A and B are shown apart, each in its own frame.
Chain A
Protein backbone atom coordinates (compact mmCIF):
# COMPACT_ATOMS: atom_id res chain seq x y z
CA UNK A 1 0.00 0.00 0.00
CA UNK A 2 1.04 3.53 -0.60
CA UNK A 3 2.37 5.40 2.38
CA UNK A 4 0.30 8.57 2.45
CA UNK A 5 2.88 10.73 4.19
CA UNK A 6 5.69 9.99 1.73
CA UNK A 7 6.50 11.99 -1.39
CA UNK A 8 5.04 9.13 -3.36
CA UNK A 9 1.79 9.50 -1.40
CA UNK A 10 1.72 13.23 -2.09
CA UNK A 11 2.20 12.56 -5.82
CA UNK A 12 -0.58 9.97 -5.89
CA UNK A 13 -2.90 12.31 -3.99
CA UNK A 14 -2.17 15.11 -6.48
CA UNK A 15 -2.88 12.83 -9.44
CA UNK A 16 -6.12 11.81 -7.76
CA UNK A 17 -7.08 15.48 -7.38
CA UNK A 18 -6.15 16.12 -11.02
CA UNK A 19 -8.34 13.23 -12.20
CA UNK A 20 -11.30 14.60 -10.23
CA UNK A 21 -10.74 18.09 -11.64
CA UNK A 22 -10.61 16.70 -15.21
CA UNK A 23 -13.88 14.82 -14.85
CA UNK A 24 -15.73 17.69 -13.17
CA UNK A 25 -14.20 20.13 -15.65
CA UNK A 26 -15.45 18.10 -18.61
CA UNK A 27 -18.83 17.79 -16.95
CA UNK A 28 -19.09 21.56 -16.54
CA UNK A 29 -18.17 21.95 -20.20
CA UNK A 30 -21.41 20.19 -21.10
CA UNK A 31 -23.49 23.32 -20.53
CA UNK A 32 -22.82 26.73 -22.09
CA UNK A 33 -23.46 28.43 -18.74
CA UNK A 34 -20.72 26.62 -16.84
CA UNK A 35 -18.44 25.70 -19.74
CA UNK A 36 -15.97 28.49 -19.14
CA UNK A 37 -15.29 27.46 -15.55
CA UNK A 38 -15.03 23.84 -16.68
CA UNK A 39 -11.88 24.39 -18.71
CA UNK A 40 -10.40 26.44 -15.85
CA UNK A 41 -10.98 23.54 -13.45
CA UNK A 42 -9.38 21.08 -15.82
CA UNK A 43 -6.51 23.53 -16.33
CA UNK A 44 -5.93 23.69 -12.57
CA UNK A 45 -5.77 19.89 -12.50
CA UNK A 46 -3.16 19.93 -15.22
CA UNK A 47 -0.99 22.47 -13.38
CA UNK A 48 -1.16 20.47 -10.14
CA UNK A 49 -0.27 17.22 -11.90
CA UNK A 50 2.61 18.78 -13.83
CA UNK A 51 4.20 20.55 -10.86
CA UNK A 52 4.02 17.52 -8.58
CA UNK A 53 5.68 15.36 -11.22
CA UNK A 54 8.93 17.30 -10.69
CA UNK A 55 9.08 15.58 -7.28
CA UNK A 56 8.82 12.12 -8.83
CA UNK A 57 11.48 9.87 -7.28
CA UNK A 58 14.44 8.61 -9.29
CA UNK A 59 14.42 11.22 -12.02
CA UNK A 60 17.17 13.29 -13.58
CA UNK A 61 17.45 15.53 -16.68
CA UNK A 62 15.49 18.36 -15.00
CA UNK A 63 17.19 20.97 -17.16
CA UNK A 64 16.15 19.28 -20.38
CA UNK A 65 12.66 18.80 -18.98
CA UNK A 66 12.20 22.46 -18.16
CA UNK A 67 13.52 23.58 -21.54
CA UNK A 68 11.23 21.12 -23.34
CA UNK A 69 8.15 22.27 -21.40
CA UNK A 70 9.00 25.92 -22.01
CA UNK A 71 9.65 25.30 -25.70
CA UNK A 72 6.48 23.32 -26.39
CA UNK A 73 4.38 25.44 -24.06
CA UNK A 74 5.40 28.83 -25.43
CA UNK A 75 5.06 27.80 -29.09
CA UNK A 76 1.60 26.38 -28.40
CA UNK A 77 0.57 29.40 -26.32
CA UNK A 78 1.51 31.87 -29.05
CA UNK A 79 -0.06 29.84 -31.86
CA UNK A 80 -3.19 29.15 -29.81
CA UNK A 81 -3.72 32.84 -29.05
CA UNK A 82 -3.17 33.85 -32.66
CA UNK A 83 -5.22 31.31 -34.57
CA UNK A 84 -8.42 32.55 -36.22
CA UNK A 85 -11.67 30.89 -35.16
CA UNK A 86 -12.18 29.63 -38.70
CA UNK A 87 -8.90 27.70 -38.46
CA UNK A 88 -9.80 26.05 -35.16
CA UNK A 89 -10.33 22.50 -36.51
CA UNK A 90 -6.82 22.13 -37.88
CA UNK A 91 -5.33 23.67 -34.74
CA UNK A 92 -7.11 21.07 -32.61
CA UNK A 93 -5.75 18.42 -35.00
CA UNK A 94 -2.24 19.77 -34.53
CA UNK A 95 -2.36 19.82 -30.72
CA UNK A 96 -3.95 16.40 -30.73
CA UNK A 97 -1.18 15.05 -32.94
CA UNK A 98 1.34 16.40 -30.48
CA UNK A 99 -0.31 14.43 -27.67
CA UNK A 100 -0.22 11.27 -29.79
CA UNK A 101 3.43 11.89 -30.57
CA UNK A 102 4.17 12.29 -26.87
CA UNK A 103 2.45 8.98 -26.08
CA UNK A 104 4.51 7.32 -28.81
CA UNK A 105 7.66 8.93 -27.40
CA UNK A 106 6.94 7.47 -23.95
CA UNK A 107 6.50 4.05 -25.52
CA UNK A 108 9.74 4.48 -27.46
CA UNK A 109 11.74 5.43 -24.37
CA UNK A 110 10.32 2.47 -22.44
CA UNK A 111 10.97 0.05 -25.30
CA UNK A 112 14.45 1.36 -26.12
CA UNK A 113 15.26 1.30 -22.42
CA UNK A 114 14.83 -2.44 -22.59
CA UNK A 115 13.59 -2.92 -19.04
CA UNK A 116 11.57 -6.07 -18.85
CA UNK A 117 8.06 -5.07 -17.84
CA UNK A 118 6.45 -8.42 -18.34
CA UNK A 119 4.08 -9.40 -21.13
CA UNK A 120 1.02 -7.28 -20.23
CA UNK A 121 3.03 -4.11 -19.96
CA UNK A 122 4.95 -4.98 -23.10
CA UNK A 123 1.74 -5.37 -25.10
CA UNK A 124 0.22 -2.17 -23.71
CA UNK A 125 3.41 -0.17 -24.32
CA UNK A 126 3.59 -1.38 -27.92
CA UNK A 127 -0.13 -0.81 -28.57
CA UNK A 128 -0.01 2.66 -27.05
CA UNK A 129 3.04 3.45 -29.14
CA UNK A 130 1.37 2.19 -32.31
CA UNK A 131 -1.85 4.15 -31.72
CA UNK A 132 0.04 7.25 -30.62
CA UNK A 133 2.30 7.20 -33.68
CA UNK A 134 -0.66 6.73 -36.06
CA UNK A 135 -2.51 9.56 -34.33
CA UNK A 136 0.59 11.76 -34.57
CA UNK A 137 1.33 11.42 -38.28
CA UNK A 138 -2.37 11.16 -39.20
CA UNK A 139 -3.21 14.37 -37.34
CA UNK A 140 -0.35 16.18 -39.05
CA UNK A 141 -1.76 15.17 -42.44
CA UNK A 142 -5.22 16.30 -41.33
CA UNK A 143 -3.72 19.61 -40.24
CA UNK A 144 -1.87 20.03 -43.55
CA UNK A 145 -5.02 19.33 -45.54
CA UNK A 146 -7.28 21.70 -43.62
CA UNK A 147 -4.60 24.38 -43.54
CA UNK A 148 -4.40 24.15 -47.31
CA UNK A 149 -0.75 23.03 -47.26
CA UNK A 150 -1.77 19.88 -49.06
CA UNK A 151 -4.33 20.40 -51.76
CA UNK A 152 -4.72 17.07 -53.46
CA UNK A 153 -6.14 13.87 -52.12
CA UNK A 154 -3.70 11.05 -52.84
CA UNK A 155 -5.28 7.85 -54.06
CA UNK A 156 -3.89 4.97 -56.00
CA UNK A 157 -5.27 1.61 -57.05
CA UNK A 158 -5.01 -1.01 -54.34
CA UNK A 159 -4.50 1.61 -51.68
CA UNK A 160 -6.67 -0.16 -49.15
CA UNK A 161 -4.91 -3.45 -49.74
CA UNK A 162 -1.61 -1.63 -49.33
CA UNK A 163 -2.79 -0.11 -46.03
CA UNK A 164 -4.03 -3.46 -44.83
CA UNK A 165 -0.70 -5.15 -45.64
CA UNK A 166 1.13 -2.31 -43.92
CA UNK A 167 -1.08 -2.70 -40.85
CA UNK A 168 -0.48 -6.44 -40.69
CA UNK A 169 3.29 -6.02 -41.03
CA UNK A 170 3.29 -3.31 -38.35
CA UNK A 171 1.27 -5.53 -36.03
CA UNK A 172 3.75 -8.32 -36.73
CA UNK A 173 6.59 -6.13 -35.54
CA UNK A 174 4.47 -5.08 -32.56
CA UNK A 175 4.00 -8.74 -31.65
CA UNK A 176 7.69 -9.50 -31.90
CA UNK A 177 8.56 -6.54 -29.67
CA UNK A 178 5.88 -7.34 -27.10
CA UNK A 179 6.58 -11.07 -26.83
CA UNK A 180 10.30 -11.29 -27.20
CA UNK A 181 12.44 -8.44 -26.26
CA UNK A 182 13.57 -6.80 -29.50
CA UNK A 183 16.60 -4.66 -30.23
CA UNK A 184 16.80 -0.97 -31.10
CA UNK A 185 16.66 -1.71 -34.83
CA UNK A 186 13.38 -3.61 -34.66
CA UNK A 187 11.76 -1.00 -32.45
CA UNK A 188 12.85 1.77 -34.83
CA UNK A 189 11.38 -0.03 -37.84
CA UNK A 190 8.16 -0.58 -35.89
CA UNK A 191 7.75 3.13 -35.15
CA UNK A 192 8.65 4.10 -38.71
CA UNK A 193 5.98 1.73 -40.03
CA UNK A 194 3.39 3.08 -37.57
CA UNK A 195 4.11 6.65 -38.64
CA UNK A 196 3.83 5.72 -42.33
CA UNK A 197 0.56 3.94 -41.61
CA UNK A 198 -0.88 7.11 -40.07
CA UNK A 199 0.03 9.00 -43.24
CA UNK A 200 -1.30 6.46 -45.74
CA UNK A 201 -4.52 6.01 -43.75
CA UNK A 202 -5.26 9.73 -43.76
CA UNK A 203 -4.14 10.68 -47.27
CA UNK A 204 -7.15 9.27 -49.15
CA UNK A 205 -9.70 10.97 -46.88
CA UNK A 206 -11.26 14.11 -48.29
CA UNK A 207 -11.39 17.51 -46.62
CA UNK A 208 -15.10 17.35 -45.81
CA UNK A 209 -14.62 14.21 -43.74
CA UNK A 210 -11.58 15.52 -41.89
CA UNK A 211 -13.44 16.61 -38.72
CA UNK A 212 -14.62 13.04 -38.14
CA UNK A 213 -11.06 11.86 -38.61
CA UNK A 214 -9.68 14.48 -36.22
CA UNK A 215 -12.25 13.42 -33.63
CA UNK A 216 -11.25 9.79 -34.14
CA UNK A 217 -7.57 10.59 -33.69
CA UNK A 218 -8.51 12.56 -30.58
CA UNK A 219 -10.11 9.44 -29.14
CA UNK A 220 -7.13 7.32 -30.24
CA UNK A 221 -4.68 9.65 -28.54
CA UNK A 222 -6.71 9.34 -25.36
CA UNK A 223 -6.48 5.57 -25.62
CA UNK A 224 -2.73 5.68 -26.26
CA UNK A 225 -2.28 7.91 -23.21
CA UNK A 226 -4.29 5.46 -21.11
CA UNK A 227 -2.14 2.52 -22.29
CA UNK A 228 1.08 4.36 -21.53
CA UNK A 229 -0.45 5.25 -18.16
CA UNK A 230 -0.69 1.53 -17.38
CA UNK A 231 2.92 1.08 -18.38
CA UNK A 232 4.07 3.95 -16.16
CA UNK A 233 1.66 3.01 -13.36
CA UNK A 234 0.15 6.47 -13.51
CA UNK A 235 -3.53 6.57 -12.51
CA UNK A 236 -4.11 10.15 -13.72
CA UNK A 237 -3.01 9.18 -17.22
CA UNK A 238 -5.14 6.04 -17.21
CA UNK A 239 -8.29 7.84 -16.10
CA UNK A 240 -7.90 11.00 -18.19
CA UNK A 241 -6.85 9.00 -21.24
CA UNK A 242 -9.72 6.54 -20.95
CA UNK A 243 -12.31 9.26 -20.37
CA UNK A 244 -11.12 11.04 -23.50
CA UNK A 245 -10.98 7.78 -25.42
CA UNK A 246 -14.60 6.98 -24.59
CA UNK A 247 -15.88 10.53 -24.98
CA UNK A 248 -14.00 10.95 -28.24
CA UNK A 249 -15.38 7.72 -29.66
CA UNK A 250 -18.93 8.81 -28.90
CA UNK A 251 -18.29 12.26 -30.35
CA UNK A 252 -16.88 10.68 -33.50
CA UNK A 253 -20.01 8.57 -33.91
CA UNK A 254 -22.26 11.61 -33.39
CA UNK A 255 -20.37 13.52 -36.05
CA UNK A 256 -20.40 10.67 -38.54
CA UNK A 257 -24.13 10.25 -37.95
CA UNK A 258 -24.77 13.94 -38.53
CA UNK A 259 -23.01 13.61 -41.87
CA UNK A 260 -24.97 10.49 -42.73
CA UNK A 261 -21.82 8.44 -42.94
CA UNK A 262 -20.68 5.42 -41.06
CA UNK A 263 -17.21 5.58 -39.63
CA UNK A 264 -16.08 2.78 -41.92
CA UNK A 265 -17.43 4.72 -44.85
CA UNK A 266 -15.44 7.79 -43.86
CA UNK A 267 -12.22 5.85 -43.44
CA UNK A 268 -12.43 3.53 -46.40
CA UNK A 269 -14.35 5.26 -49.17
CA UNK A 270 -13.41 8.12 -51.39
CA UNK A 271 -16.42 10.42 -51.02
CA UNK A 272 -15.89 13.54 -49.00
CA UNK A 273 -14.10 15.80 -51.39
CA UNK A 274 -14.76 17.29 -54.78
CA UNK A 275 -13.19 14.29 -56.43
CA UNK A 276 -16.60 12.69 -56.90
CA UNK A 277 -17.80 13.30 -60.43
CA UNK A 278 -20.24 16.17 -60.27
CA UNK A 279 -23.68 14.64 -60.33
CA UNK A 280 -25.17 17.24 -62.60
CA UNK A 281 -28.76 16.83 -61.70
CA UNK A 282 -31.01 18.40 -64.25
CA UNK A 283 -32.90 19.97 -61.40
CA UNK A 284 -35.24 21.72 -63.80
CA UNK A 285 -36.15 25.39 -63.78
CA UNK A 286 -33.58 28.12 -63.52
CA UNK A 287 -31.87 30.15 -60.84
CA UNK A 288 -33.59 33.50 -60.40
CA UNK A 289 -31.48 36.44 -59.22
CA UNK A 290 -32.71 39.20 -56.90
CA UNK A 291 -31.41 42.59 -55.70
CA UNK A 292 -30.35 43.27 -52.11
CA UNK A 293 -32.81 46.16 -51.73
CA UNK A 294 -35.74 43.83 -52.48
CA UNK A 295 -34.48 41.29 -49.98
CA UNK A 296 -34.17 44.04 -47.37
CA UNK A 297 -37.84 44.96 -47.79
CA UNK A 298 -38.87 41.32 -47.74
CA UNK A 299 -37.08 40.65 -44.46
CA UNK A 300 -37.99 43.92 -42.73
CA UNK A 301 -41.71 43.22 -43.16
CA UNK A 302 -41.54 39.52 -42.38
CA UNK A 303 -42.81 37.96 -39.17
CA UNK A 304 -40.23 35.26 -38.97
CA UNK A 305 -36.80 35.02 -40.58
CA UNK A 306 -34.59 31.98 -40.25
CA UNK A 307 -30.93 32.42 -41.09
CA UNK A 308 -29.03 29.36 -42.29
CA UNK A 309 -25.32 30.11 -42.13
CA UNK A 310 -22.69 27.85 -43.66
CA UNK A 311 -18.96 27.78 -43.75
CA UNK A 312 -19.02 30.15 -46.73
CA UNK A 313 -20.26 32.88 -44.39
CA UNK A 314 -17.25 32.41 -42.14
CA UNK A 315 -14.85 32.39 -45.10
CA UNK A 316 -16.33 35.72 -46.22
CA UNK A 317 -16.00 36.97 -42.60
CA UNK A 318 -19.64 37.99 -42.85
CA UNK A 319 -20.79 36.85 -39.40
CA UNK A 320 -20.41 40.28 -37.78
CA UNK A 321 -22.47 41.91 -40.53
CA UNK A 322 -25.07 39.16 -40.32
CA UNK A 323 -25.43 39.75 -36.58
CA UNK A 324 -25.76 43.51 -37.19
CA UNK A 325 -28.50 42.76 -39.70
CA UNK A 326 -30.16 40.41 -37.22
CA UNK A 327 -30.19 43.10 -34.53
CA UNK A 328 -31.80 45.58 -36.92
CA UNK A 329 -34.50 43.07 -37.76
CA UNK A 330 -35.10 42.16 -34.11
CA UNK A 331 -35.47 45.86 -33.31
CA UNK A 332 -38.18 46.03 -35.98
CA UNK A 333 -39.99 43.20 -34.23
CA UNK A 334 -39.04 40.42 -36.59
CA UNK A 335 -38.59 36.99 -35.04
CA UNK A 336 -35.07 36.03 -36.15
CA UNK A 337 -33.47 32.68 -35.42
CA UNK A 338 -30.32 30.97 -36.58
CA UNK A 339 -30.66 27.42 -37.85
CA UNK A 340 -27.45 25.45 -37.60
CA UNK A 341 -26.84 22.15 -39.26
CA UNK A 342 -24.66 19.78 -37.23
CA UNK A 343 -21.96 19.88 -39.87
CA UNK A 344 -22.19 23.58 -40.71
CA UNK A 345 -18.69 24.91 -40.47
CA UNK A 346 -15.99 22.35 -40.47
CA UNK A 347 -17.01 20.28 -37.49
CA UNK A 348 -20.08 20.00 -35.29
CA UNK A 349 -20.42 23.12 -33.20
CA UNK A 350 -17.85 25.06 -35.23
CA UNK A 351 -20.52 27.41 -36.60
CA UNK A 352 -21.70 28.12 -33.06
CA UNK A 353 -18.17 29.16 -32.14
CA UNK A 354 -17.96 31.44 -35.17
CA UNK A 355 -21.34 33.05 -34.38
CA UNK A 356 -20.40 33.39 -30.72
CA UNK A 357 -17.26 35.22 -31.83
CA UNK A 358 -19.44 37.73 -33.66
CA UNK A 359 -21.50 38.21 -30.49
CA UNK A 360 -24.62 36.25 -31.44
CA UNK A 361 -26.18 34.98 -28.17
CA UNK A 362 -26.51 31.21 -28.05
CA UNK A 363 -30.19 31.24 -27.15
CA UNK A 364 -31.33 32.38 -30.61
CA UNK A 365 -29.25 29.64 -32.24
CA UNK A 366 -31.04 26.35 -32.83
CA UNK A 367 -29.88 23.05 -34.20
CA UNK A 368 -31.48 21.07 -36.96
CA UNK A 369 -33.84 18.94 -34.83
CA UNK A 370 -35.09 21.96 -32.86
CA UNK A 371 -35.75 24.26 -35.79
CA UNK A 372 -36.74 22.11 -38.75
CA UNK A 373 -40.48 22.24 -38.05
CA UNK A 374 -40.35 26.05 -37.99
CA UNK A 375 -39.34 26.50 -41.62
CA UNK A 376 -42.95 25.91 -42.66
CA UNK A 377 -44.02 29.02 -40.74
CA UNK A 378 -41.06 31.17 -41.75
CA UNK A 379 -41.55 34.01 -44.21
CA UNK A 380 -37.93 34.11 -45.24
CA UNK A 381 -35.12 31.58 -45.03
CA UNK A 382 -31.83 33.36 -45.61
CA UNK A 383 -29.20 30.86 -46.70
CA UNK A 384 -25.74 32.34 -46.53
CA UNK A 385 -22.73 30.30 -47.47
CA UNK A 386 -24.50 26.98 -46.94
CA UNK A 387 -25.19 24.51 -49.72
CA UNK A 388 -25.36 20.75 -49.27
CA UNK A 389 -27.03 21.01 -45.85
CA UNK A 390 -30.12 22.63 -47.40
CA UNK A 391 -30.29 20.46 -50.51
CA UNK A 392 -33.74 18.84 -50.61
CA UNK A 393 -32.50 15.97 -52.80
CA UNK A 394 -31.22 14.47 -49.55
CA UNK A 395 -34.90 13.84 -48.79
CA UNK A 396 -36.19 13.09 -52.25
CA UNK A 397 -33.59 11.50 -54.52
CA UNK A 398 -32.35 8.06 -53.46
CA UNK A 399 -29.71 8.11 -56.18
CA UNK A 400 -27.96 11.14 -54.69
CA UNK A 401 -24.80 10.53 -52.66
CA UNK A 402 -26.20 12.70 -49.88
CA UNK A 403 -29.57 10.92 -49.84
CA UNK A 404 -30.67 10.31 -46.25
CA UNK A 405 -28.42 12.98 -44.76
CA UNK A 406 -30.37 15.09 -42.28
CA UNK A 407 -30.87 18.53 -43.82
CA UNK A 408 -32.38 21.84 -42.85
CA UNK A 409 -35.77 22.13 -44.56
CA UNK A 410 -35.15 25.62 -45.94
CA UNK A 411 -37.22 24.68 -48.99
CA UNK A 412 -40.38 24.70 -46.83
CA UNK A 413 -40.11 28.44 -46.15
CA UNK A 414 -42.36 30.86 -48.07
CA UNK A 415 -39.37 32.64 -49.54
CA UNK A 416 -35.82 31.40 -49.78
CA UNK A 417 -32.96 33.82 -50.33
CA UNK A 418 -29.57 32.31 -51.13
CA UNK A 419 -26.49 34.49 -50.85
CA UNK A 420 -23.87 32.87 -52.99
CA UNK A 421 -20.68 33.91 -54.68
CA UNK A 422 -21.30 32.17 -57.98
CA UNK A 423 -23.28 29.41 -59.60
CA UNK A 424 -20.98 26.51 -58.71
CA UNK A 425 -21.97 23.36 -56.86
CA UNK A 426 -21.23 22.68 -53.18
CA UNK A 427 -18.46 20.92 -51.28
CA UNK A 428 -19.68 17.55 -52.47
CA UNK A 429 -20.06 18.66 -56.08
CA UNK A 430 -23.78 18.01 -56.06
CA UNK A 431 -26.20 20.38 -57.76
CA UNK A 432 -28.57 21.97 -55.24
CA UNK A 433 -32.25 21.55 -56.14
CA UNK A 434 -33.17 24.28 -53.62
CA UNK A 435 -31.67 26.93 -55.89
CA UNK A 436 -34.10 26.08 -58.67
CA UNK A 437 -37.33 26.23 -56.68
CA UNK A 438 -40.05 28.74 -57.52
CA UNK A 439 -39.81 30.55 -54.19
CA UNK A 440 -36.01 30.75 -54.27
CA UNK A 441 -34.12 33.88 -55.29
CA UNK A 442 -30.35 34.07 -55.66
CA UNK A 443 -28.43 37.04 -54.28
CA UNK A 444 -25.09 36.76 -56.02
CA UNK A 445 -22.06 38.28 -54.37
CA UNK A 446 -19.58 38.15 -51.55
CA UNK A 447 -21.23 37.26 -48.23
CA UNK A 448 -19.89 40.23 -46.34
CA UNK A 449 -20.67 42.75 -49.10
CA UNK A 450 -24.19 41.40 -49.51
CA UNK A 451 -24.83 41.49 -45.75
CA UNK A 452 -23.70 45.13 -45.75
CA UNK A 453 -26.09 45.92 -48.60
CA UNK A 454 -28.92 44.22 -46.73
CA UNK A 455 -28.16 46.30 -43.64
CA UNK A 456 -28.27 49.46 -45.75
CA UNK A 457 -31.52 48.32 -47.36
CA UNK A 458 -33.22 47.65 -44.00
CA UNK A 459 -31.90 50.90 -42.52
CA UNK A 460 -33.25 52.96 -45.41
CA UNK A 461 -36.81 51.81 -44.77
Chain B
Protein backbone atom coordinates (compact mmCIF):
# COMPACT_ATOMS: atom_id res chain seq x y z
CA UNK B 1 0.00 0.00 0.00
CA UNK B 2 1.20 3.46 -0.81
CA UNK B 3 -0.08 5.83 1.81
CA UNK B 4 0.72 8.72 4.08
CA UNK B 5 4.37 9.58 4.27
CA UNK B 6 5.50 6.97 1.76
CA UNK B 7 3.29 8.74 -0.77
CA UNK B 8 4.75 12.10 0.22
CA UNK B 9 8.30 10.79 -0.18
CA UNK B 10 7.54 9.43 -3.64
CA UNK B 11 5.92 12.73 -4.56
CA UNK B 12 8.86 14.77 -3.30
CA UNK B 13 11.52 12.65 -5.01
CA UNK B 14 9.64 12.46 -8.29
CA UNK B 15 9.12 16.22 -8.29
CA UNK B 16 12.84 16.70 -7.76
CA UNK B 17 13.64 14.33 -10.64
CA UNK B 18 11.27 16.23 -12.94
CA UNK B 19 12.84 19.54 -12.02
CA UNK B 20 16.39 18.24 -12.50
CA UNK B 21 15.70 16.69 -15.89
CA UNK B 22 14.24 19.83 -17.41
CA UNK B 23 16.74 22.20 -15.85
CA UNK B 24 19.48 21.11 -18.22
CA UNK B 25 17.49 21.00 -21.45
CA UNK B 26 18.57 23.41 -24.22
CA UNK B 27 15.89 25.77 -25.54
CA UNK B 28 15.98 24.08 -28.94
CA UNK B 29 14.39 21.02 -27.41
CA UNK B 30 11.67 22.74 -25.39
CA UNK B 31 8.86 22.02 -27.80
CA UNK B 32 9.68 18.31 -28.27
CA UNK B 33 10.25 18.03 -24.54
CA UNK B 34 6.90 19.54 -23.69
CA UNK B 35 5.40 17.11 -26.15
CA UNK B 36 7.44 14.27 -24.64
CA UNK B 37 6.34 15.03 -21.10
CA UNK B 38 2.82 15.32 -22.45
CA UNK B 39 3.25 11.77 -23.74
CA UNK B 40 4.54 10.54 -20.37
CA UNK B 41 1.39 11.58 -18.53
CA UNK B 42 -0.40 9.37 -21.04
CA UNK B 43 0.29 6.74 -18.34
CA UNK B 44 -3.13 7.87 -17.14
CA UNK B 45 -4.23 5.16 -19.58
CA UNK B 46 -3.47 2.39 -17.09
CA UNK B 47 -5.56 4.16 -14.45
CA UNK B 48 -8.41 4.67 -16.88
CA UNK B 49 -8.27 0.98 -17.78
CA UNK B 50 -8.52 0.00 -14.12
CA UNK B 51 -11.38 2.44 -13.58
CA UNK B 52 -13.27 1.04 -16.57
CA UNK B 53 -12.44 -2.52 -15.52
CA UNK B 54 -14.02 -1.98 -12.13
CA UNK B 55 -17.06 -0.07 -13.41
CA UNK B 56 -20.47 -1.68 -12.76
CA UNK B 57 -23.22 0.73 -13.74
CA UNK B 58 -23.88 2.03 -17.24
CA UNK B 59 -22.92 5.53 -16.09
CA UNK B 60 -19.56 4.38 -14.74
CA UNK B 61 -18.92 2.27 -17.82
CA UNK B 62 -19.70 5.19 -20.15
CA UNK B 63 -17.39 7.55 -18.29
CA UNK B 64 -14.74 4.85 -18.04
CA UNK B 65 -14.98 4.21 -21.78
CA UNK B 66 -14.53 7.90 -22.56
CA UNK B 67 -11.64 8.03 -20.11
CA UNK B 68 -9.80 5.11 -21.72
CA UNK B 69 -10.35 6.50 -25.24
CA UNK B 70 -9.07 9.94 -24.18
CA UNK B 71 -6.08 8.45 -22.39
CA UNK B 72 -5.18 6.28 -25.38
CA UNK B 73 -5.37 9.42 -27.53
CA UNK B 74 -3.02 11.22 -25.14
CA UNK B 75 -0.48 8.40 -25.14
CA UNK B 76 -0.52 7.53 -28.84
CA UNK B 77 -0.83 11.12 -30.12
CA UNK B 78 1.87 12.33 -27.76
CA UNK B 79 4.23 9.62 -28.91
CA UNK B 80 3.63 10.14 -32.62
CA UNK B 81 4.17 13.91 -32.66
CA UNK B 82 7.20 13.78 -30.33
CA UNK B 83 8.84 11.07 -32.40
CA UNK B 84 8.16 13.02 -35.61
CA UNK B 85 9.76 16.15 -34.21
CA UNK B 86 12.82 14.48 -32.73
CA UNK B 87 13.44 12.46 -35.86
CA UNK B 88 14.14 15.68 -37.76
CA UNK B 89 16.92 16.98 -35.53
CA UNK B 90 20.23 16.45 -37.30
CA UNK B 91 23.69 17.91 -36.88
CA UNK B 92 25.58 19.30 -39.88
CA UNK B 93 27.80 16.20 -39.94
CA UNK B 94 24.82 14.04 -40.80
CA UNK B 95 22.94 16.51 -42.97
CA UNK B 96 23.36 16.60 -46.72
CA UNK B 97 25.49 19.42 -47.93
A residues with a Cβ closer than 8 A to B are: 15, 18, 22-23, 25-27, 29-33, 35-36, 38-40, 42-43, 46, 49-50, 53-54, 56, 58-62, 64-65, 67-77, 79-81, 83, 85, 88-89, 91-92, 94-96, 98-99, 101-106, 108-110, 112-113, 120, 184, 214-215, 218, 221-222, 225-226, 228-230, 232-248, 250-251, 254-255, 258, 327, 340, 342, 345, 347-350, 352-353, 356-357, 359-365, 367
Contacts and interface: CB of A to CB of B under 8 A. Distances in A.
Given A32-B28, A88-B85, A113-B55, A69 B39 contact: no
Contacts of A112: 57, 59-60, 63
Interface string B1-20: 11110010011001111110
Given A22-B40, A30-B26, A74-B76, 7 more contacts: A49-B43, A53-B49, A68-B68, A98-B73, A356-B89, A367-B26, A367-B28
20 contacts: A35-B29, A38-B86, A43-B39, A46-B75, A56-B50, A59-B53, A71-B72, A98-B71, A109-B52, A113-B55, A218-B37, A222-B41, A236-B43, A246-B22, A248-B18, A251-B37, A340-B27, A340-B28, A349-B30, A352-B29
B39 A246 contact: no
B59 to A, nearest CB: 6
B96 to A, nearest CB: 7
A250 B22 CA distance: 7
Contacts of B48: 102, 105-106
B36 A38 contact: yes
Contacts of A345: 31
Contacts of B47: 102-103, 106, 225, 228-229, 232, 234, 237
Given A99-B42, A102-B71, A348-B30, A85 B85 contact: yes
Given A99-B71, A353-B85, A356-B89, A235 B10 contact: yes
Contact of A246 (B14, B55, B78): B14
A336 B72 CA distance: 44
Contacts of B57: 112
A350 B15 CA distance: 26
B45 to A, nearest CB: 6
A58 to B, nearest CB: 7
A249 B93 CA distance: 35
Interface of B: 1-4, 7, 10-11, 14-19, 21-57, 59-61, 63-97
B44 A25 contact: no
Contacts of B32: 29, 35, 39, 349, 353
A238 B33 CA distance: 20
Given A71-B69, A106-B47, A361-B95, A353 B31 contact: yes
Nearest to A76: B77
Contact of B2 (A80, A221, A233): A233
A356 B73 contact: no
Contacts of B94: 361
B31 to A, nearest CB: 4
A363 B92 CA distance: 7
A154 B65 CA distance: 33
Contacts of B87: 36
A106 B19 CA distance: 26
A68 B36 contact: no
Contacts of A102: 44-45, 47-48, 67-68, 70-71, 74
